[in-house]
């Protein structure tokens, strides 16, 4: 019997406008009222997640930064896995020297280059000029989602976050240039000192080698006394695979990548069709006595 629900945010609990539908909120609240534990597991930074949930009335455990941090429903940090600082600085130097737009997830802020948006605009111009059939408006939606996060602090150089008091949990590189995305992946995919993941078509991300949604979920499940076989996990992207592979009830969204669907026992509706709400009602609430 399912006693815990873990849901991803972007492409899963959030619709294409990065909003949580009333249906999704209601289903999770109903599950909590029936004694089911609810956990959010996302690639976003913790302060950004809090902003998203502030008007929903939902309070859950939050696995953020792809598993690098865990916070309890009251906002207390339960666990964290920061990157090695020297390694993080070398990765940022590599990105900055090659004109990548990047974001650094830290304790309280999301650090990003002062000229980051300019870099993205240049890439958009090049891509749309070379491929006039591509919809610029559609691509701009991805950029807007990236820029609409909470807690930005703009820097002129990665060296500004070198001080030891600033933990680095996640480094995200975003680009519309496929060659740059491929170069990043090929350069670091075999590096045993980091975890390299992607949470979308236009990014790749660096984390501590032990940081993943799956590893964080194992820690939290042990703390909560919840068997992994009794957990329902719902996701859509490659960074969700580590948790889907560990639970008894892995479910992929209708809009999920094929690799994610292949790792799941069921395919839900899309994130614009309240796939989380429908899955919770079908697999959880229907089996709990009123």
> In whole angstroms, what is the distance from residue 269 CA to residue 89 CA?
41
In a shared domain, residues 185 and 221: no
51 pLDDT above the threshold of 60: yes
Q: What is the span of the domain harbouring residue 248?
A: 4-81+211-287
How many CA atoms lie within 13 Å of 80's alpha carbon, on the beta-carbon side?
17
In a shared domain, residues 70 and 138: no
**pLDDT tens for residues 53-107?**
999 999 999 999 999 999 999 999 999 999 999 999 999 999 999 999 999 999 8
104, 68 Cβ separation under 8 angstroms? no
Which pairing describes strands 69-71 and 170-174: parallel, antiparallel, or unpaired? unpaired
290 pLDDT above the threshold of 60: no
Instruction: For residue 253, give both structure tokens.
Output: 């969204």
Neighbours of 117 (CB within 10 A): 15
Residue with the larger pLDDT of the pair 243 and 137: 243
Which pLDDT belongs to residue 39?
99
289 pLDDT above the threshold of 70: no
Residue with the larger pLDDT of the pair 112 and 146: 112
The chain-wide mean pLDDT, for the chain, equals 95
In a shared domain, residues 50 and 133: no
Task: Give the bridge partners for 105, in sequence order.
Answer: 110, 170
| Residue among 97, 106, 206 at smallest CA distance from 157 | 97
In a shared domain, residues 115 and 171: yes
In a shared domain, residues 77 and 26: yes
In a shared domain, residues 111 and 161: yes
In a shared domain, residues 72 and 96: no
In a shared domain, residues 91 and 197: yes
Give the domain-ending residue among 184, 208, 232. Answer: 208
> In whole angstroms, what is the distance from residue 242 CA to residue 255 CA?
18
**pLDDT tens for residues 266-277?**
999 999 999 999
Residues 6+ apart with CB under 8 A from 132: none
**pLDDT tens for residues 200-236?**
899 999 999 999 999 999 999 999 999 999 999 999 9
CA angle 206, 103, 106 (to 5 degrees): 80
In a shared domain, residues 177 and 145: yes
Which pairing describes strands 61-64 and 37-41: parallel, antiparallel, or unpaired? parallel
In a shared domain, residues 226 and 159: no
In the block, residue with structure tokens 């519309």: 176
Give the domain-ending residue among 183, 208, 233. Answer: 208
Which element (helix H / strand E) includes 214?
helix 213-224
Q: What is the CATH number of the domain that holds 147?
A: 3.30.1240.10
In a shared domain, residues 180 and 259: no
Catalytic site residues? 8
Q: Write the CA distances from 269 to 10, 33, 83, integer angstroms.
A: 14, 24, 36
Q: What percent of the chain has pLDDT over 70?
A: 99
Q: What is the CATH number of the domain that holds 244?
A: 3.40.50.1000
* Beta-sheet strands, E only, within the chain: 4-7, 37-41, 61-64, 69-71, 77-80, 101-105, 110-113, 152-155, 170-174, 194-197, 203-208, 231-235, 249-252, 266-267
Give the domain-ending residue among 179, 208, 237. Answer: 208
Q: Count of domains in the chain?
A: 2
Neighbours of 289 (CB within 10 A): 4
In a shared domain, residues 108 and 185: yes
> In whole angstroms, what is the distance from residue 280 CA to residue 289 CA?
14
Burial 4-14 (b: 16+ CB within 10 A, else e): bbbbbbbbbbb
Which pLDDT belongs to residue 288?
67
| Residue among 222, 192, 172 at smallest CA distance from 44 | 172
């Amino acid at each position: 019997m399912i006693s815990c629900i873990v849901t991803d945010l972007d492409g899963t609990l959030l619709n294409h406008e990065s909003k949580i539908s009333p249906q999704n909120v209601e289903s999770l609240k109903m599950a909590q009222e029936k004694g089911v534990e609810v956990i959010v597991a996302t690639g976003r930074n913790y302060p950004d997640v809090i902003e998203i949930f502030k008007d929903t009335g939902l309070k859950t455990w939050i696995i953020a930064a792809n598993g690098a941090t865990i916070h309890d429903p009251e906002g207390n940090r339960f666990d964290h896995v920061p990157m090695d600082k020297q390694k993080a600085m070398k990765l940022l130097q590599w990105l900055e020297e090659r004109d990548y737009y990047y974001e650094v997830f830290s304790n309280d802020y999301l650090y990003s280059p002062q000229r980051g948006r300019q870099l993205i605009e240049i890439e958009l111009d090049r891509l749309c000029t070379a491929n006039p059939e591509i919809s610029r408006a559609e691509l701009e939606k991805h950029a807007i989602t990236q820029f609409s996060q909470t807690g930005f602090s703009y820097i002129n150089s990665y060296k500004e976050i070198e001080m030891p008091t600033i933990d680095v949990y996640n480094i995200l590189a975003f680009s519309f240039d496929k060659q740059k995305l491929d170069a990043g992946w090929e350069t670091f995919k075999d590096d045993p000192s980091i975890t390299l993941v992607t949470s979308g078509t236009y990014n790749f991300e660096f984390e501590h080698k032990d940081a993943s949604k799956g590893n964080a979920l194992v820690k939290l499940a042990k703390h909560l006394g919840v068997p992994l076989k009794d957990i329902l996990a719902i996701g859509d992207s490659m960074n969700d695979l580590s948790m889907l592979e560990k639970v008894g009830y892995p479910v992929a969204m209708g809009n999920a990548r094929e690799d994610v669907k292949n790792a799941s026992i069921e395919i839900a509706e899309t994130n614009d069709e309240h796939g989380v709400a429908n899955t919770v009602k079908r697999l959880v609430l229907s089996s709990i006595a009123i």
